[in-house]
């Protein structure tokens, strides 16, 4: 929880015994706040319906940095996803291919 305490200090966030409270930009003159439960991980539901757990620190970062986006979208910018890998079937053998973030392919034998 030390990482969470550091984020609260860095971004001047509020907190109570059960929540981290993030002030959001005003809309139509009304102040808004986001209440996040103090848990190690929170489950996020994406628009396609799948669920995924993320560390609270990453959710705080995503909410503070990209408050205008859906959390499922903003977490994409903050969360470091592992390289995607897939196996491509060759007529002679199987080759493992790693697809990097910039869509370059790298053969791994």
pLDDT for the residue numbered 23: 93
Residues 64 and 29 in one domain: yes
Of the two residues 67 and 87, the one the predictor is more confident about is 67
Domain containing 26 equals 2-78
Contact 7, 60 (CB under 8 A): yes
Rg over CA atoms, the chain = 19
Residues 58 and 104 in one domain: no
- How many domains is the chain partitioned into structurally? 2
Residues 101 and 56 in one domain: no
Q: What does the alpha-carbon distance between residue 10 and residue 86 come to, in Å, rounded to a whole number?
A: 39
Residues 91 and 49 in one domain: no
Residues 21 and 52 in one domain: yes
Q: What does the alpha-carbon distance between residue 63 and residue 72 come to, in Å, rounded to a whole number?
A: 10
Is residue 90 pLDDT above 60, yes or no? Answer: no
| Tens-place pLDDT, residues 3-55 | 999 999 999 999 999 999 999 888 787 888 999 999 999 999 888 999 999 99
Instruction: Report the predicted TM-score, pTM, of the whole model to 2 decimal places.
Output: 0.68
Is residue 101 pLDDT above 60, yes or no? Answer: no
Contact 62, 74 (CB under 8 A): yes
Residues 21 and 48 in one domain: yes
Residues 86 and 64 in one domain: no
Residues 15 and 53 in one domain: yes
Q: What mean pLDDT do residues 48-70 have? A: 92
Q: What does the alpha-carbon distance between residue 52 and residue 47 come to, in Å, rounded to a whole number?
A: 12
Residues 20 and 40 in one domain: yes
Count of beta carbons in the 10 Å neighbourhood of residue 79: 15
Residues 73 and 100 in one domain: no
Count of beta carbons in the 10 Å neighbourhood of residue 6: 11
């Amino acid at each position: 929880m030390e990482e969470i305490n550091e984020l609260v200090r860095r971004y001047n966030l509020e907190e109570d015994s059960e929540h981290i409270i993030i002030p959001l930009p005003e809309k139509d003159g009304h102040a808004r706040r986001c209440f996040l439960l103090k848990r190690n991980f929170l489950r996020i539901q994406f628009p396609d319906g799948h669920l995924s757990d993320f560390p609270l620190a990453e959710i705080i970062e995503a909410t503070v940095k990209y408050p205008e986006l859906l959390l499922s979208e903003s977490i994409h910018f903050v969360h470091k996803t592992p390289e995607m890998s897939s196996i491509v079937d060759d007529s002679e053998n199987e080759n493992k291919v790693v697809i990097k973030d910039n869509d370059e392919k790298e053969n791994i034998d």
